[in-house]
Amino acid sequence: MVSQSQNRIIVGLDIGTSKVVALVAEVDADGQIEIIGMGSHPSRGM
């Protein structure tokens, strides 16, 4: 039998006029949130 991870991934994306920001987090079996990645990049607007 193969065990499966019960962790969930949550992604947040903020698209603003001056920058775009992404955040990736993982929720473990205890409900704790751990940020596993983030990034930011300048934007030229809409």
Residue-range domain boundaries for the chain: 8-42
Any bridge partners for residue 39, and if so which? 22
Going by pLDDT thresholds of 50, 70 and 90, the confidence category of residue 3 is low
pLDDT tens per residue across span 4-46: 666 699 999 999 999 999 999 999 888 899 999 999 999 987 6
For residue 29, the 8-state DSSP code is T
Choose between 1 and 9: higher pLDDT. 9
Report the pLDDT value the prediction gives residue 5, as an integer from 0 to 100: 60
Our CA angle for 34, 35, 37, nearest 5°, is 145
CA dihedral sign, ordered 20, 41, 18, 25: positive
